[in-house]
Amino acid sequence: MSLKQTLVSRDDSQQPEINEKTIAAAVTGEESPDTLVRKKRAIPKKRQDVLKWNGWGYKDSGFVYRDGDLLFSGDRYPLGNLILPYFTNWVRDRLGGNFALKVESIEEPDDTTFPEANVTSELISKIEEIGVTYSVQGGDRLFRSHGHTLHDIFTLRTGNFPRIPDLVVWPESHNHVVAVVNLAQTLGVVLIPYGGGTSVSGALSVPENERRTVVSLDMSQMNRILWVDEANLICCAEAGIIGQDLEGQLRTLGFTTGHEPDSYEFSSLGGWVATRASGMKKNTYGNIEDLLVHVKMVTPRGTVEKHCKVPRISAGPDIHHFVLGSEGSLGVITEVVLKIRPLPICKRYGSVVFPDFASGVSAMREVAKERCQPASIRLMDNEQFKFGHSLRAPVGFLGNLSSAAKQFYLTKFKGLDLNQICVATLLFEGQKHEVNVQEQRIYGIAAKFGGMPGGDSNGERGYILTFVIAYIRDIALDYNIVAESFETSVPWSHTFNLCENVKLRVINECRARGIRHHFITCRVTQTYDVGACVYFYFAFNYAGMSDPVRVFEEIETTARDEILANRGSISHHHGIGKLRAKWVPHTMSQTGVGALLHIKRAVDPDNIFGNGNILSSPETMVQPQQSQEDSFMHSKL
């Protein structure tokens, strides 16, 4: 029996769908869906078995220095096992990297070094009655005490956190979660939801002054696709499923969500909703708020959900919009219904070389104005172009000859300055004729702004490199270099100026502190009718500095102030957490903040979900001199 013939109906919707057993059969090759077979997940329950305890990603993957050059270990990524002499030289020249002076991380702590868990026998007994597995082991608690900010990783490498969860629990169903939340309400226990652990906003850290028992609610075992509805092109999945598992299973059925954030390998579906995530292919498939059809969120006052799954409803304020972006501060997301699409027939990469960044931004704006964006279009400034270009292996005499010929063509024949050019990488998806038309329009617009095609291999390489860039910070920390990314959204009228002003502000701040070797770069990653998302990468050599993280955070704070002064937002997709909470008053009025507080009191009056995200205490908030709305309205657009 074929997959499409194996359909069942649900009583609540009477719509044909593929249920979990059918999905398991398709994924595992079993003919009959009668016996549920679980697919092996990419990340195991004990995450530290395959993931680094003090860095990004897989244990078997990462940049290492060996025999005079950097290389990327493992075979999971296209850079795997390649020697990277150009990148080695770039690190030396641009950031003053001294590979003779390695800064070793502390050893992974053993269970005897952690503070004793603050748990009662009553709590453990009740957890066992519910039937949820749990752990008080120090390694499990530590792994779920942090995300991936620079502060988090530097702390892991050099010391310890002042507070970590006391207990980790692994629910396996919505009903399990309801029971755990009710228990926490009864016993006065704090719950911190944990999805993929990829947060870069401090959202997972335990508030230092929290004296109640803190439980990390690890959602990783709620990782199933429950059903797929082919008629309406939607699927329902549990919130703990990570991106690569969700997409891998859907692809076996011929579908995709199209949601592909940079953290796609490790981040979870629930985390995407909780942070209002955005993916690299949002132009075709939408951001998470565009994909969301239905969501369940368990709070101490009950489950928040709609009683219908329709494309649109006019029934007062949309409750989905206080679930989206709630960052685990109101409740925990358990199930999500998403839009899906058939897998694209045609997938094609491309790139465009522009004479300078201003020309590239103007072209991006024109593409957005004509609403002809491909699935992904991202513009790198010159610094990022040169950085990315260094991440390549030696190519031999003929390859070097070809590279020299290309440089000659660009500089002598086209008159471009290699210290000014920038590159846009492109990904087209759809029907073949649609992709052909889209390519013609994009390259036609680019030509109006001095852009020329740069080849599909450069486009593919630029797109795929996204997944290895996160590994760079770990090798940087080994050699006295701190690095981090931050992002924003901004109106088109201020996009170019924001990019230039923020970079200049960071450079001046580094010079004022006597930092000789520093690096600041940006790229325009998402385009909209009214503006764009801009992503910054910032790094500096901290050799001889006693507290580099404090210095980094001071400079990043000035960069964020500069972003806001240039009409940028607090965040495009990373969220607020604790790291950006002090800027909330720049983002909404006092009445808006009050409305959020009232929602919190309505669904969680005892602050059971007490992670401290989004709304910090009033005395720590930066008070704006002028509201963003006023600034925006009075600016010259």
Does residue 465 form part of some domain? yes
The span from the first CA to the last CA of the chain, in angstroms, equals 60
Confidence (pLDDT) at 26: 54
Asked whether residue 413 is domain-assigned, the answer is yes
* Domain termination residue (choose one: 221, 236, 271): 221
pLDDT at 472 over 60: yes
Q: What is the mean pLDDT of residues 412-432?
A: 88
The confidence band for 556, taking pLDDT boundaries of 50, 70 and 90, is very high
In a domain, 427, yes or no: yes
User: Would you say residue 510 has pLDDT above 60?
Assistant: yes
Report the predicted TM-score, pTM, of the whole model to 2 decimal places.
Answer: 0.91
Structure tokens at 247: 């997409």
Residue 296 belongs to a domain: yes
Q: Range with the lowest mean pLDDT among 81-85, 410-414, 477-481?
A: 410-414
User: In terms of pLDDT, which residue wins out, 410 or 50?
Assistant: 50
22-26, 128-132, 345-349: the lowest-pLDDT one = 22-26
Catalytic sites, residue numbers: 535
Q: Answer yes or no: do 122 and 153 share one domain.
A: yes
Residue in 183, 40, 193 with CA at minimum distance from that of residue 611: 193
Give the DSSP letter of residue 343.
Answer: P
Q: 417 falls in which pLDDT band (50, 70, 90)?
A: confident
The CATH number for 461's domain is: 3.30.70.3450
Contact between 68 and 58 (Cβ < 8 Å): no
Work out the average pLDDT over 397-402: 42
Decide if 623 is inside a domain: yes
Q: Render pLDDT for 197-233 as a digit per residue (tens, 0 to 9).
A: 999 999 999 999 999 999 999 999 999 999 999 999 9
What burial letters (b/e) apply to 178-203, b meaning 16+ CB within 10 Å?
bbbbbbbbeeebbbbbbbbbbbbbbb
CATH code of the domain covering residue 279? 3.30.465.10
Whether 89 is covered by a domain: the verdict is no
For residue 365, give its domain range.
346-469
pLDDT at residue 410, rounded to an integer:
67
Angstrom distance (rounded) from CA 8 to CA 62:
45
Report the pLDDT value the prediction gives residue 527, as an integer from 0 to 100: 97
* Confidence class for position 97, pLDDT limits 50, 70, 90: very high
Structure tokens that stand for 349 in this block: 């990469």
Question: Do 274 and 323 belong together in one domain?
Answer: yes
Average of pLDDT values for 339-367? 97
Looking at the chain, the number of H-run helices and the number of E-run strands are 23, 23
426 belongs to a structural domain: yes
- 351 and 304 together in one domain: no
Q: Is the pLDDT assigned to residue 281 strictly greater than 60? A: yes
What's the gap between Cα 488 and its chain centre?
A: 13
Q: What is the mean pLDDT of residues 163-187?
A: 98
Is the domain of 239 the same as that of 334? yes
Query: What is the band of 399 on the pLDDT scale with cuts at 50, 70, 90?
Result: very low
Q: For the chain, how many structural domains are there in total? A: 4
Which residue ranges make up the annotated binding site?
A: 193-199, 275-278, 327-333, 473
Tokens of 31: 């003919």
Where is the domain boundary, 308, 342, 376? 342
The percent of residues in the chain predicted with pLDDT above 90, rounded, is: 83
- Whether residue 281 sits in one domain with residue 330: yes
Per-residue pLDDT band at 464 (split at 50, 70, 90): confident
Tell me the pLDDT of the chain averaged across its residues. 90
351 shares a domain with 320: no
In a domain, 316, yes or no: yes
* pLDDT at 5 (0 to 100): 31
Specify whether 146 is located in the same domain as 128.
yes
Are both 189 and 252 inside the same structural domain? Answer: no
Q: 4-54: per-residue pLDDT in tens?
A: 333 333 334 444 456 655 655 555 444 433 333 345 689 999 999 999 999
**pLDDT at residue 14, as a whole number:** 43
Average pLDDT value for residue range 157-178: 97
Which domain CATH number covers 166? 3.30.43.10
Q: Is 352 found in the same domain as 335?
A: no
**457 and 383, same structural domain?**
yes
pLDDT of residue 576: 96
Question: Cα 489–494–495 angle (5° rounding)?
Answer: 55
Task: Look at residue 12 in the predicted model and tell me its pLDDT.
Answer: 41
- Report residue 229 as tokens: 């509805």
Q: Residues 526, 533: contact at Cβ < 8 Å?
A: yes
Query: What is the strand order of the sheet 190-194 is part of?
Result: 133-135, 167-170, 214-218, 190-194
Query: How far is residue 10's CA from residue 15's CA, in Å, rounded to a whole number?
Result: 6
Q: Quick one: 298 and 352 in the same domain?
A: no
What is the DSSP secondary structure assignment for residue 583, as one 8-state letter? Answer: G
Mean pLDDT value across residues 441-461? 94
User: Running DSSP on this structure, what letter comes out for residue 342?
Assistant: E
pLDDT (mean) for 375-385: 97
Confidence check: pLDDT of 144 > 60: yes
**Among candidate residues 318, 342, 366, the one where a domain is terminated:** 342
Neighbouring C-beta atoms of residue 273, cutoff 10 Å: 25
628 pLDDT above the threshold of 80? no
| 255 and 336 assigned to the same domain | yes
